[in-house]
């Protein structure tokens, strides 16, 4: 459903990873302009992924949109504090997701 929503954006190529380590692998192999990230992943928690990316010169400016089932304030705070740009919870409105993602792609990350 995420794919469906995002593929509505123009000129966007999607890459998928099923685990945190895979996500990092993909990002390291070919540059990306936006990361849509789930938090609860088996091998590496989303928070750790965010922190890892933010710690590297090469990746620290990539916009990160967190999309997750956790909707509590603490989780949101954690994610934003770690360096995420946007936090959205599931279930989500596909149009809203596409909209925010589009914004992030255009602005290259929130100021």
Partner 1 sequence: MSEDEGGLDGPLPEDFLAEYEEHQAGIERALLELERAGAIGEADVAVLLRRLHTLKGLSGMVGLGEAAALAHAMESALRGLRHGGRAPAKGVLDALIEAGRALALALSDRRHGAAPRDFSALIRLLSADGETAAREVPDAPLPSTAEGSIALTAAQRREIKKSARAGMDVLRATFGPSVALSARGVTVSSVRARLEARGKILSAAPVVEPGGSVRFEFVVVCPRGAVVPGDWAPDGVRVETYDVTLPEAGSDGEPLLSPSNTIRVGMDKLDDLMGIVGELVVKRARLSELTGGLSRWVPRHELRALDEASLQLERQVHMLREAVTHVRLVPIGGAFARMPFATRAVAREEGKSIRVELSGQETELDKFVVDRMTEPLLHLVRNAAAHGIERPEGRRAAGKPAEGRISLRAAAQADRVVVEVEDDGAGIDAEAVRRRGAALGLLPPGHEGPLDEDRLLEILCAPGLSTRAGADLGSGRGVGMTAVRDAVRDLGGRLSLRTTPGAGSVFTIEIPVTMLIIQALLVQDAGRTYAVPSTSVEEVMEASVAGAATIGGSPVLAYRGGTLAVASLGQTLGAARTRGRHVLVARGGGLGFAVERVLGQKEIVVSPLTDPWVRSPGVSGATRLPDGTILLILDLKTLARTNA
Residues in contact with partner 1 by CB under 8 A are 18-19, 21-22, 24-25, 28-30, 43-44, 47, 51-52, 54-58, 60, 74, 77-83
Q: In this structure, how many other beta carbons lie within 10 angstroms of the beta carbon of residue 13?
A: 8
Considering the complex, state which of residue 1 and residue 58 has its C-beta at the smaller distance from partner 1: 58
Residue number with CB closer to partner 1 (7 or 56): 56
- Rounded CA separation 42/17 (Å): 12
Nearer to partner 1, 52 or 97 (CB): 52
Q: Show the tokens assigned to 20.
A: 């945190």
Give least dist CB 54 to partner 1, A.
7
Minimum separation from the CB atom of position 102 to partner 1 (A): 27
In terms of CB distance, is 56 or 95 closer to partner 1?
56
CB of 31 to partner 1, least distance (A): 12
């Amino acid at each position: 459903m995420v794919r469906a929503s995002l593929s509505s954006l123009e000129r966007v190529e999607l890459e998928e990873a099923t685990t945190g380590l895979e996500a990092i692998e993909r990002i390291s192999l070919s540059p990306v302009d936006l990361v849509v990230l789930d938090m609860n992943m088996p091998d590496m928690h989303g928070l750790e992924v965010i922190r890892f990316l933010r710690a590297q010169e090469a990746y620290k400016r990539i916009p990160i949109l967190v999309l997750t089932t956790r909707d509590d304030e603490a989780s949101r705070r954690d994610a934003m504090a770690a360096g995420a740009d946007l936090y959205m919870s599931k279930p989500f409105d596909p149009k809203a997701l596409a909209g925010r993602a589009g914004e992030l792609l255009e602005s290259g990350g929130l100021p």
